[in-house]
Amino acid sequence: MIRLITLGLPALLVAAALFWIRPRRNGQARPAHSGSTITMLLAWAVAIVGFHPGVQDAADGVTRDLAKLVSNVLMLVASVSVVSWLMALNHEKTEARRRLRPRLAVLAAAVTVMTASFFAVPADRRWSSEFTNTHWGQAPALLHVYTLAYVLVMGHATYDCLAQTWRRSSQSPWRVHRAGLRAAAIGCFFVLLYLAYKVVNAGASIAGVELFPGGPRCTSLVTPYRCAFSFTAPLVGVLLITAGLTVPALLWPAAKMLRRRWERKTAQDLLPLWTDLTAVRPQVVLRAVVIETDPDVVLHRRVVEVCDGILDLDPYRSPAIERLATDAVARRGQDGTPTGAAIIEAAVVAAAIEAARSGARPQQAPTRQATGESARAGDLRAEALWLRSVSQQYATSDIVRTAVAVQRQAAPTATAA
């Protein structure tokens, strides 16, 4: 299981990093924080690989407990990368760099102290040595200096992460962002649990008490039981922090892709109504300097032009056609439903288009537009959904075709009673 986790999770993180590294289409620039996002993802991927048994065996093959130094250093780098990412997100580029600089200096100092302390302790006195396991209270003081340096940097980075993620989780207007930031904050709690284990273990060692015996390397997430604190807690923290900070960012492109697909489909559904409206009222077509291909712009223009076209045909809205369509909808049991309302509106608009095309006189008392336009005012999506429903009925409903036929049979110069 440990091998699977320490290879599978880094693979996912590297895949996420490649998503941000990939070239953008149409020469679009990457988001301002993409560099920090890539660094964070790759740093955590490398940090988790450092826990892989194969990597640890290779490191320990060089010198005893080198795997501990490697994994601890990688964890510190990954933790500071989270702080860097949050600063890039929360501050301007210059300010973020200014705030990050002293933290990088502290990281470099801690790594130097840890490395010097590690190699200054003889191999037969390090954590996994028989002497240290047997005489826990006589562990070299430099091992505690090592732990102190590690805990100080990791603790400060975790506090930075916890404070920023929790504060932003209460400010973000997007639910997925709030959930992600809170997950990251919970991940910080697990990291703090891991750091508390380190401090307590060091304190017990100084007092000559063996709370967390050494021995074989972790064989599962909770065996030996110290692994629940030394391996599982930081791993869960890494998972929650990374997922909480990156999954919302990865969901955004997917949501954007789905939104663009919806915009293209809706604009296509509006085409039958838009074509006939602009044929009889070409003046409603907005003038464009260049041909727009962005789905959002195309849909926005089409909604505006359809609305303007329907408004311009208000004088031709026949009360007789509205009654005919209302009665037909009622006979089908669709009275009072959104579909029924769309059929009635489509029938009235279709008859108005036919009247304008044939040169009929305007109605003396034209019927009003379907209710609900005030509720949709300023809401492009709501207006697009309504017009799409009207356009679909305009293209397919036999009630609409009947309304057009009735209008066509009327004399061009006749007016409704």
Judge whether 261 lies within some domain: no
By the 8 A CB rule, do 83 and 157 touch? yes
Better-predicted residue by pLDDT, 62 or 291: 62
Q: In the prediction, which pLDDT does 166 show?
A: 79
Could you tell me the residue range of the domain that residue 102 belongs to? 2-22+31-256
> Cα–Cα distances in Å, from 355 out to 123, 159, 319, 350?
96, 71, 13, 9
Q: In the prediction, which pLDDT does 224 show?
A: 64
Judge whether 301 lies within some domain: yes
Q: How far apart are CA 161 and CA 185, in angstroms?
A: 7
Judge whether 263 lies within some domain: no
Q: How far apart are CA 266 and CA 223, in angstroms?
A: 56
Q: Tell me the pLDDT tens digit for each residue of 292-326.
A: 678 888 899 999 999 999 999 999 999 999 999 99
By the 8 A CB rule, do 18 and 182 touch? no
One domain for residues 179 and 309: no
Q: Tell me the pLDDT tens digit for each residue of 148-173.
A: 898 899 888 888 888 878 777 777 76
Q: Which residues contact 15 (CB under 8 A, 6 or more apart)?
A: none
Q: Tell me the pLDDT tens digit for each residue of 107-125.
A: 999 999 999 999 999 988 8
Q: How far apart are CA 309 and CA 23, in angstroms?
A: 41
By the 8 A CB rule, do 305 and 297 touch? no
CB neighbour class for 124 (10 Å; exposed up to 12, middle 13-18, buried from 19)? exposed
One domain for residues 235 and 284: no
CB neighbour class for 349 (10 Å; exposed up to 12, middle 13-18, buried from 19)? buried
> What is the number of structural domains in the chain?
2
The arithmetic mean of pLDDT across residues 33-37, rounded, is 74
By the 8 A CB rule, do 86 and 93 touch? no
By the 8 A CB rule, do 352 and 406 touch? no
One domain for residues 119 and 57: yes
Mean of all residue pLDDT scores within the chain? 82
Q: Tell me the pLDDT tens digit for each residue of 319-360.
A: 999 999 999 999 999 988 999 999 999 999 999 999 999 888
Residues in the chain: 417
Judge whether 414 lies within some domain: no
Judge whether 265 lies within some domain: no
Q: How far apart are CA 160 and CA 85, in angstroms?
A: 11
Please state, as a whole number, how many other Cβ atoms lie within 10 Å of the Cβ of residue 201: 20
3-class secondary structure, 254 = helix
Q: Is the pTM of this model over 0.85?
A: no
Q: Tell me the pLDDT tens digit for each residue of 190-241.
A: 888 888 887 887 777 666 666 665 555 666 666 666 777 777 887 788 778 7
Q: In the prediction, which pLDDT does 94 show?
A: 87
Taking alpha carbons only, the member of 94, 1, 121, 106 closest to residue 51 is 1
